[in-house]
């Protein structure tokens, strides 16, 4: 059996769209039909080589989607054929299986425990969480990362409390999830900072109380003026070292600066470490420390209760054949959330 797939053959080059041979299922593996997949900033990072040279080329891409289970391998017990599922990159319940290995003729195409830029995918059982059939697949894709990472960074990593002041810098995909998470957690005020007005406007829709366009005004001055001082919790989703240095300045002496965005492998930032000795916290966030099989049902309850509309987060949609154009739109800053529809 073959499936159309987007393949990263060379960094800083467009993805190839080709048909790959799907391997037979092994222990703990699951065949899933992908129905919707979000394009994440992480994929832009893979293409651009943010983490350095890629030793796994050529390989498949994508780590957040909604789909339907078609077939299960040996010992799989958490999902069955016909189940609707969230495909997520953070490990959840079930077996950690070996990564699938696809082929084009005799050429090996590598993959991780999950890839989603393809119509059919072989996924490790623990990268799947079952959801009710009436949950749309785009919402499922948002639950895979945007909401679990954004909410988790706020509630698990930073442990934001009611009434604390929050600043989110970079309110595209994950940043928008962090804004919403802070609002739902009872933070006040919630300041959104970005260089794109349309992203700031969307952040306002999802709970930001104040907006700062850092193209037009100083982040440090604007936040200090709004709060009368530094913030309790600051989230950098840009991965930009110059921005991180500013973020450190607007974090209170007992506050937390969370690095959610990923800096390029050859970049550095400079800061005075003395405040660390007196309670100021600087830490990274990996997926918001989310626990998918625990968090996804919780967030679904919020959606069903009408607390927010995840569909309103989506700005663009494309087919698999249009993925390179969609990536260019993301790179330009125009897109907030782009869904590949299958």
The domain 150-286 is placed in CATH, from the list 3.40.50.300, 3.30.1220.10, 3.30.2310.20, 3.40.50.720, at 3.40.50.720
What order do you get walking across the sheet with 59-60 strand by strand? 59-60, 2-8, 16-21, 102-104, 107-109
Measured in degrees and rounded to the nearest 5, phi and psi for residue 23 equal: -75, 160
Provide the residue ranges of all domains of the chain, joining segments of one domain with +. Answer: 2-144+309-341, 150-286
The pairing of strands 2-8 and 59-60 is antiparallel
pLDDT, residue 99, reads 96
Q: What digits encode the pLDDT tens for the residues 245-262?
A: 999 999 999 999 999 999
Nearest to 146 by CA among 119, 122, 166, 171: 171
**What is the C-alpha to C-alpha distance for residues 181 and 183, in angstroms, rounded to an integer?**
5
**What is the C-alpha to C-alpha distance for residues 162 and 210, in angstroms, rounded to an integer?**
17
pLDDT, residue 110, reads 96
Sign of the CA dihedral running 213, 217, 222, 225:
negative
Which residue reads 């990159």 in tokens? 89
Q: Please, are residues 17 and 6 in contact by the beta-carbon 8 Å criterion?
A: yes
Task: Report the share of the chain in percent with pLDDT over 90.
Answer: 100
Q: Please, are residues 247 and 234 in contact by the beta-carbon 8 Å criterion?
A: yes
Q: 43 is written with which tokens?
A: 């994929």
pLDDT, residue 157, reads 98
Q: What digits encode the pLDDT tens for the residues 269-301?
A: 999 999 999 999 999 999 999 999 999 999 999
**What is the C-alpha to C-alpha distance for residues 45 and 13, in angstroms, rounded to an integer?**
12
pLDDT, residue 255, reads 98
pLDDT, residue 10, reads 96
Q: 161 is written with which tokens?
A: 């409390």
pLDDT, residue 53, reads 94
Nearest to 124 by CA among 57, 75, 59: 75
pTM, 2 dp: 0.95
**What is the C-alpha to C-alpha distance for residues 94 and 78, in angstroms, rounded to an integer?**
6
Which residue reads 């260089």 in tokens? 195
The domain 2-144+309-341 is placed in CATH, from the list 3.40.50.720, 3.40.718.10, 1.10.3720.10, 3.90.180.10, at 3.90.180.10
Q: What digits encode the pLDDT tens for the residues 171-230?
A: 999 999 999 999 999 999 999 999 999 999 999 999 999 999 999 999 999 999 999 999
């Amino acid at each position: 059996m073959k499936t159309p797939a987007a393949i990263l053959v060379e960094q800083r080059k467009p993805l190839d769209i080709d048909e790959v041979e799907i391997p037979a299922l092994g222990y703990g593996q699951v065949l899933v039909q992908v129905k919707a997949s979000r394009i994440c900033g992480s994929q832009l990072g893979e293409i651009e080589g943010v983490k350095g040279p890629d030793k796994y080329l050529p390989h498949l891409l994508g780590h957040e989607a909604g789909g339907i289970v078609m077939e299960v391998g040996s010992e799989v017990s958490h999902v069955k054929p016909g189940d609707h599922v969230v495909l997520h990159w953070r490990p959840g319940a079930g077996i950690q299986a070996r990564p699938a290995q696809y082929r084009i003729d005799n050429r090996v195409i590598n993959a991780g425990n999950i890839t989603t830029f393809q119509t059919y995918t072989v996924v490790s059982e623990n990268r799947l969480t079952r959801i009710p059939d009436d949950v749309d697949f785009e919402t499922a894709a948002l639950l895979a990362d945007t909401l679990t990472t954004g909410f988790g960074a706020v509630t698990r990593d930073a442990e934001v409390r009611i009434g604390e002041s929050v600043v989110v810098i970079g309110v595209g995909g994950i940043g928008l999830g962090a804004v919403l998470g802070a609002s739902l957690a009872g933070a006040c005020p919630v300041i959104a900072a970005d260089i794109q007005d349309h992203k700031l406007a969307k952040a306002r829709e999802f709970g930001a109380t104040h907006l700062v366009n850092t193209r037009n005004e100083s982040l440090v001055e604007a936040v200090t003026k709004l709060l009368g001082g530094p913030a309790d919790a600051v989230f950098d989703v840009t991965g930009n070292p110059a921005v991180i240095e500013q973020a450190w300045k607007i974090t209170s002496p007992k506050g937390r600066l969370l690095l959610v965005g990923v800096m390029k492998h050859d970049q550095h930032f400079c800061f005075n470490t003395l405040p660390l000795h007196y309670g100021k916290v600087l830490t990274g966030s990996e997926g918001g420390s989310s626990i998918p099989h625990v968090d996804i049902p919780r967030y679904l309850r919020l959606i069903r209760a009408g607390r927010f509309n995840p569909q309103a987060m989506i700005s663009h949609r494309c087919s698999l054949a249009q993925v390179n154009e969609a990536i260019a739109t993301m790179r330009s800053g125009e897109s907030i959330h782009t869904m590949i529809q299958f």
